[in-house]
Amino acid sequence: MSGIPNTRIRTALFAVPLVAVAALGTAAAPAEATTSPTARPLTCRGEGVDPHALVRYRTETVIHAPLRSIWKLQTDVERWPYWQDAVTTVKRLDHGPFRAGSAFRWTTPVPPNPTTPATSLEITSTVEQLRHHSCIRWTGPALGEGLRIDGVHVWNFTRVKGGVRVSTEETHTGAEVEADVPTATKLLRQGLEAWLRDLKTAAESPTHSQPH
């Protein structure tokens, strides 16, 4: 954002997982969440996150719900605002089934701080790879006034006893986040864990947990 002299403040605001900005500060790790920092990067159809990115985070959780319910919540992107407080608006830019090549534009709020007023990021995500009920990989920029963050986000869905293990990994590149990698990584962690927490809560609710 132009006019902000403190690069650290800009990094703290925008080093997020291209979602869940509003949840920062209150986000807690979801139940049963784990991290595997030394594990092999997640992939979808052989493609993963940016191998050269300095800002990266991976986490996972077990969700006790049918895979079809979890998949529908995650891929029906225009309904994200109903179960994610940090997503303000979502618009599909294509029609039909969610698939490789699908694109969507969405916004997420940035909370106010002592230096800047509240604002928002606009993210345009494009699905690069997808395997039904198995994995998704999307890429895209998050744009704000005077800044750009490029993200790569991979999701894996694996049936396990009693539910589904949902694993996610994301990388960020851009001048703002690379100016303070530890802070950017911390905020990416908070956002990804908040996303998994919200997905778990929504999927395990009585409304979504029954097979259909």
Contact 45, 137 (CB under 8 A): yes
- The Cβ of residue 104 has, within 10 Å, a number of other Cβ atoms equal to 20
Mean pLDDT by 10 residues, the chain (212 residues): 37 46 41 56 97 97 98 98 94 97 92 58 96 98 85 98 97 92 90 96 80 43
In degrees, rounded to 5, the angle at the alpha carbon of residue 184 between the alpha carbons of residues 90 and 100 is: 40
Strand 55-63 with 103-110, pairing = unpaired
Give Cα separations from 172 to 16, 62, 65, 90, 209 (angstroms).
9, 25, 30, 21, 33
Which residue(s) pair with 120 in the sheet? 109
pLDDT, tens digit (0-9, with 9 covering 90-100), for 45-94: 999 999 999 999 999 999 999 999 999 999 999 999 999 988 999 999 99
- The Cβ of residue 48 has, within 10 Å, a number of other Cβ atoms equal to 16
- Amino acid of residue 160: V
pTM over 0.85: no
